[in-house]
Amino acid sequence: MAQSPELVVVSNRLPFSIERHGDKLQIQRSAGGLVAALEPVLNQRGGVWVGWAGVSQQALDSAGGLNLPGGAVTYRAVPLSGHEVSLYYAGFSNRTIWPLFHYFVGDTTIDGGTWRAYEQVNERFAQVAVNASAKDTLIWVHDYQLLRVPHHVRRLAPDRRIAFFLHIPFPAPDVLRVLPWSRNLIRGMLAADLVGFHIPAYAEHFLLCAERLLGSEVDHANGIVRFEGREVSVQSHPISIDVAHIEALAGSPGREPGAPEDDPERVREILGVDRLDYTKGVNERLLGIERLLDRHAEYRGRILFTQLLVPSRERVPEYNRLKREIDETVGRINGRFSAPDWSPIRYLARTMPPEELVPLYRKADIALVTPLRDGMNLVAKEYVAAQLENNGVLIVSEMAGAAEELQEALIVNPFDIDAVADALDRALSMPDDERRARMSALRDRVRTRDVHAWVRGFLESAEAAAVRARAGERLPSDHVRRRLVPWLAQRPTVALFLDYDGTLTPIVARPEDAQLSEATRQTLEQAAKTPNLDVVIVSGRALDDIQTLVGVPGLTYVANHGFETEGPGLSFRHAGTSRFLDALNAAAADLIGLGIEGALIERKGPTVAYHVRNVAEELREDAERQAEQVFKKHRLYVTKGKCVIDGRPAIAWDKGQAVLHVLVQRHGADWPSKVRALYIGDDTTDEDAFRTLRGIGRSICVGHSPQTSTLADFRLADPEAVLQLLRWLASGAFAEAKA
Ligand code: ADQ
């Protein structure tokens, strides 16, 4: 096995079947289109296929294990007992999810025992997939038997990339909610980075179900669901077939059957090919044939309907009942219409290898594909691919996903027996030109979108979704995320300006108590080392004070409301402050003279701060007013903060100007073309920076007081929310968000 595979495919069954002959086990490779499309990718990228081997673990053990085939692809069998298979597979998968997701609500069994087995078995699949993979491996989970696997993979190994594809329909909310565990299933799927469906309608149903059933747990827009702090992409990827293979089996044009219109007396062939399943509408289809013969006596003796039916899920009782029903209907109709040399229905209850099946497709004048509900239906596409002379007519059910793409087919409601009979009549009497025009349009479409394109497209989307999911991780607010992330991703570098008090730490009674939490310090240390992230701490505090409090090397510090800046390659003192020194000293002396109890005077080089936090509340306003008068008397500028009033040189310089100064010094005058500037602050002095950056940067105001208006672009609740955003920035995810 490759040391760390890039891709692990997880499906209910491994892509081969194992049969028991006495004590011996025999392996038969599956020949399906999905296997044909996935194996080359797995071979190329190095890959593992995880699934059930098709026989119980006891059988495997008694045969002395199993030598699984392989090459560059490794196969890992998930061990399951016979009892588990009957509960999880025959039970919850095929008696609960399958009928419900195909809108057979009345046939849905609700059984807690099978649900618990399903959960346990899904967990086992996840465990095997995790063991077979490494960090960053993409684990691609398939289908309705494994809806909970993404959840368990995420729980066991959060560093894996996960994609999920559902091969059957996804129902509308009112249907899904019948299931007591519907929420668990949605959560299970939402643990993936990408959730894929055949057609947009199923993706829409899924989004609606997530919204209705999970409520405030999710938030979605444009096919992106925000769930548990991650972004999950929900998309449609219509599956297709191996067209080249079918065409090769169908033979080269001009060979075999002659053009059907050559002989008007010829018996026209109608073909149905299905797994035996009540969703495929075989019984209704037979009634359509009967209705045609009832209404149009001219077709008696002139048509032959061949129904190929491969038995499936024989352990599920509904399938045996259905088999008997179909047998009876075929017998009854043949009994009614057969003549000594003609019977209307030829019924083959068996599987047929592709080498025989494809020539049958090619020969058939009409394919009658009328499922009552079908995720996609590959038979319709296979029939089209085999029409090398563009001869045949496809009748397809509007309940099949395939109808979405195959619009030039005759589309019918399979429940409407009259409509099926009418479509058959129309197909049988369709003029050549119309028939060829329809079929050539269908063939063009199927040929350009084959299963290889499907695998490529899905894997590309899965990679992009994984990057996106990680980029969106831990971002605190949807509003901020949606508008900020794409904006940040537009330039290579982010310059992040962080105020200290009230932004990185909560406001406390004494300024010296405003210490960074350990988590914030560690995140700042990480941020200092993050490539393309330039972190600047901005404060009204004195330079050495703020440097000591933060104490993280490698950061830039803008102190004293911008009058002093110190950082890698940057050391700045505003030249104009020295002539205000006398005024500042005189103001400080006057403030002492005020004698207000609890007030604190702080000399900070080119500014003076008057702290009133510890002044009795009823006296605070008056204290601030008196301090303001003092500063004004000495012709100093006044800045009011939270419980602090600063006197500073009367120079047009503030936090905003200082921020611009740092940006220009560090990145050049044309910084906006290279850098995204983001400022986060909480105080009135930060409003200067918010104003300066309007239009050329973005700003976030911390605190949710609706009374206080702000010039900032966004708001965050508190320093905890700032920490979350900081963590996301420190992870470098803003660079990945470009994808
Ligand atoms: P299925 O329900 O199995 O698949 P379908 O898409 O029609 O349905 O695929 C059936 C396949 O089996 C075809 O490749 C067909 O050729 C083959 N087949 C059917 N009867 C056969 C017979 N008697 N002998 C030999 N071969 C036979 C599920 C979903 C579909 C979805 C597929 C793929 O139910 O809606 O299209 O997965 O995603």
Of 273, 368, 373, the residue with max ligand 1 atoms within 8 A of its CB, to mutate for a pocket test, comes to 273
Percent of all residues in the chain with a pLDDT value above 90, rounded to a whole number: 70
Q: What mean pLDDT do residues 497-515 have?
A: 88
| CA separation for the pair 452, 331 (Å, rounded) | 41
pLDDT at 254 (0 to 100): 47
Residue whose Cα lies nearest atom 20 of ligand 1: it is: 274
Which has more pLDDT, 211 or 265? 211
Q: Which residue has the tokens 């993280």?
A: 552
| Distance between Cα 678 and ligand 1 center (Å) | 54
The burial class, CB within 10 Å (0-12 / 13-18 / 19+), for 704 is exposed
Residues in Cβ contact with 32 at an 8 Å cutoff, skipping those fewer than 6 apart: 15
| Residue 626 in this model has a pLDDT that exceeds 80 | yes
> Residue 193 Cα, ligand 1 centroid: separation in angstroms?
27
Of 582 and 736, more confident: 582
pLDDT bucket at 62, cuts 50 / 70 / 90: low
Ligand 1 atom with the smallest distance to the CA of 402 is 36
| Lowest-pLDDT range of 94-98, 432-436, 641-645 | 641-645
- Measuring from atom 3 of ligand 1, which residue has the nearest CA? 275
* CA 363/CA 391 separation, integer angstroms: 9
Q: State how far Cα 626 lies from the chain centre.
A: 60
Residue 627 has pLDDT above 70, yes or no: yes
**From atom 24 of ligand 1, which residue's Cα is the shortest distance away?**
351
* Pairs from 221-230 (Cβ < 8 Å, separation ≥ 24): 221/482, 224/468, 225/190, 226/472, 226/478, 226/481, 227/187, 227/190, 228/190, 229/472, 229/473, 229/474, 229/475, 230/193, 230/469, 230/470, 230/472, 230/473
Mean pLDDT of the chain: 90
pLDDT of residue 526: 94
Predicted confidence (pLDDT) per residue in 7-33, tens digit: 999 999 988 877 777 777 777 777 666
Q: Is 246 in the pocket of ligand 1 (CB under 6 A)?
A: no
Whether the pLDDT of residue 3 is over 60: the answer is: no
Confidence check: pLDDT of 257 > 60 = no
- CB of 167 within 6 A of ligand 1: the answer is yes
Residue listed under structure tokens 């708001």: 715
pLDDT score for 430: 96
pLDDT digits (tens, 9 = 90+) for 704-719: 654 467 888 887 878 8
Nearest-angstrom CA–CA distance, 327 and 630: 103
Whole-number pLDDT of residue 484 = 84
Number of H helices, E strands in the chain: 27, 29
Query: Which ligand 1 atom sits closest to the C-alpha of 167?
Result: 38
Task: With cut-offs at 50, 70 and 90, classify the pLDDT of residue 63.
Answer: low
Q: What is the pLDDT of residue 739?
A: 42
CB–CB of 307/299 below 8 Å?
Answer: no
Nearest Cα neighbor of 600 from 526, 512, 714, 665 is: 512
442: left (phi > 0), else alpha (psi -120 to 50), else beta?
Answer: alpha
Task: For a ligand 1 pocket test, name from 199, 316, 361, 376 the mutation site with the most ligand atoms within 8 angstroms of its C-beta.
Answer: 376
Counting atoms of ligand 1 from 1, which one is nearest the CA of 309? 23
- What residues are annotated to the active site? 499
Whether 239 lines ligand 1, by a CB cut-off of 6 Å, is yes
**45 and 11 Cβ atoms separated by less than 8 Å:** no
What pLDDT does residue 161 have? 95
Q: Looking at residue 471, what is its pLDDT? A: 62
Contact partners, residue 739, CB within 8 Å, separation at least 6:
464, 467, 468, 471
Q: 405-452, pLDDT tens digit by residue?
A: 999 999 999 999 999 999 999 999 999 999 999 999 999 999 999 999
Task: Determine the Cα–Cα distance for residues 566 and 658; give it in Å rounded to an integer.
Answer: 11
Residue-wise pLDDT tens digits, 113-134: 999 999 999 999 999 999 999 9
Measure the CA–CA gap between 137 and 159, rounded to whole angstroms: 8
Whether 259 has a pLDDT exceeding 70, the answer reads: no
Residue 2 — pLDDT band, cuts 50, 70, 90? very low
Cα–Cα distance measured from residue 351 to residue 30, given in angstroms and rounded to the nearest whole number: 13
For residue 198, the 8-state DSSP code is S
Cα 731 to chain center, whole Å?
Answer: 21
Instruction: Name residues whose C-beta falls within 8 Å of residue 402's C-beta, 6 or more positions apart in sequence.
Output: 369, 374, 376, 377, 378, 380, 381, 396
The pLDDT value recorded for residue 28 is: 74
Protein residue whose Cα sits closest to atom 38 of ligand 1: 167
C-beta of 36 in contact with ligand 1 (< 6 A):
no
Is the model's pLDDT at 245 over the cut of 70? yes
pLDDT digit string, tens, across residues 373-408 = 999 999 999 999 999 999 999 999 999 999 999 999
Residue 369 pairs in a beta bridge with: 396
> Ligand 1: which atom is nearest the Cα of residue 198?
38
Q: Is the pLDDT of residue 210 over 90?
A: yes
Q: What is the pLDDT of residue 712?
A: 86
How large is the angle between the packed helices 684-693 and 655-667, nearest 10 degrees? 50
Q: How far, CA to CA in Å, does 346 sit from each of 52, 172, 396?
A: 35, 37, 20
312 pocket-lining for ligand 1 (C-beta < 6 Å): no
Residue burial 537-574, b: 16+ Cβ < 10 Å; e: rest:
bbbbbbbebbbebbebeebbbbbbbbbbbbbeeeebeb
Residue 219's identity, in one-letter code, is D
Q: Does the C-beta of 308 come closer than 6 Å to ligand 1?
A: yes
CA distance 616 to 56: 79
Predicted pLDDT of residue 478: 61
Q: What is the pTM of this model?
A: 0.70
Specify the residue for token string 């609740």. 717
Residue whose Cα lies nearest atom 18 of ligand 1: it is 274
Quick one: CA dihedral 52, 53, 54, 56, positive or negative? negative
Residue 113: its H or E element: helix 112-131
pLDDT at 703: 80
Instruction: Please work out whether the CB of residue 273 comes within 6 Å of at least one atom of ligand 1.
Output: yes
Q: How far apart are CA 187 and CA 170, in angstroms?
A: 14
Beta carbon of 351 within 6 Å of any ligand 1 atom: yes
Query: Which of 98, 370, 378 is the pocket-test mutation for ligand 1 (most atoms within 8 Å of CB)?
Result: 378
- How large a percentage of the chain has pLDDT more than 70? 92
174 phi/psi in degrees, rounded to 5: -65, -25
Which has the minimum average pLDDT: 627-641, 646-660, 721-735?
721-735
Average pLDDT (605-626) is: 92
Strands 161-165 and 194-197: parallel
The structure tokens listed for 246 are: 């079918």
For residue range 315-354, list pLDDT tens digits in order: 778 888 999 999 999 999 999 999 999 999 999 998 898 9
Distance 249 CA to ligand 1 centre (A): 17
Query: Is 242 near ligand 1, meaning CB less than 6 Å away?
Result: no
Predicted local confidence at residue 476, as pLDDT: 53
Q: Whose CA is nearest to atom 37 of ligand 1?
A: 167
- pLDDT of residue 608 exceeding 80: yes
